[in-house]
Amino acid sequence: MKGELLEILMATFLDTMGRVEIMAEAANSEAALVRASRAGDPDAFAALVRRHQERVFRLAGRFFRRREEVEEVAQETFLRAWSKLGTYRAEAPFEHWLTRLCLRCAYDRLRQERHAAEPLDAEAEASLAAPAGSPDARIEVERLLARLPAADRFLLVLLEGEGWSVAEIAERLGWSRVNVKVRAHRARRRLRHVLEEGWT
C-alpha cells in the first residue's frame, strides 16, 4: 500500500516536472525567436506572428465587426511589433507586450471613427426585436456600445467582454488601478444614460 502511494506520488511529481520543463522550453524558444527577430531575422518574426496571430485576431475582433477592420488592426499590430521590437525589455511575457500593442492599435482606430455608430442593415434591425437571452442580443449590445465614446467602449469591452480585472487592465495598458476604476465608473454611468434614453 505504502509502495503504491509512493509510486503514484513519484509519477505525479515527474508528470508535473515534465510539464514545467515543456513550459520552460516554450518560453526559451519564444525568447530565442524574439532575440533573432530583434537581430533582423524575418523568419523568426514570422514564427512569432504564427504563434500569436489567433490571439491578436480574436482580441481585435472584440472591438470591430467587419472582417477588414479586424485584419487591419491585426496587421497594424504586427507592423508596430516589428518596428518597436527594440523597446521590448522581456520583463513580462512577449504575449503581454503584443497584447498591449494590439489594444493601442484598436483604441487608435476607435478614436478615428469619431464615435459614430455604424448603421445596421435591415436583417440586424429586425433581430433587435428578439428576446434578450437570444444570440441576437449581442447586436443590441454592440449598437448601444457604438453610441459611447471610444474610450468607454474600449474599457467596457475589456472589463465585460474579455472579463479582465482592473489589475490586468492596469498592468497591460500601463494605467494605475485608480485610473482604471474611475474610467470604468464613468463608462458605466454613460452606458446607463444611453440605456435610459433608449427606454424613454
pLDDT at residue 141 in the model: 73
Q: Which residue has the cell 523568426?
A: 44
Domains of the chain are: 1-112 (1.10.1740.10)
Candidate from 11-25, 95-109, 136-150 with smallest mean pLDDT: 11-25
Candidate from 33-42, 87-96, 114-123, 175-184 with smallest mean pLDDT: 114-123
pLDDT above 70 as % of the chain: 72
Span 90-96, average pLDDT? 87
- The total of other beta-carbon atoms located within 10 Å of residue 158's CB is 24
Q: Is the pLDDT of residue 43 over 70?
A: yes
C-alpha 177/C-alpha 183 separation (Å) is 10
Span 39-60, average pLDDT? 94
- The total of other beta-carbon atoms located within 10 Å of residue 45's CB is 19
Give a three-class secondary structure readout of the chain.
Answer: CHHHHHHHHHHHHHHHHHHHHHHHHHHHHHHHHHHHHHCCCHHHHHHHHHHHHHHHHHHHHCCCCCHHHHHHHHHHHHHHHHHHHHHCCCCCCHHHHHHHHHHHHHHHHHHHCCCCCCCCCHHHHHHCCCCCCCCCHHHHHHHHHHCCCHHHHHHHHHHHHCCCCHHHHHHHHCCCHHHHHHHHHHHHHHHHHHHHHHHC
Is the dihedral angle over the CA atoms 16, 18, 21, 23 positive or is it negative? negative
Q: Which residue has the cell 482592473?
A: 166
Q: Is the pLDDT of residue 117 over 50?
A: no
pLDDT at residue 28 in the model: 61
Span 168-181, average pLDDT? 88
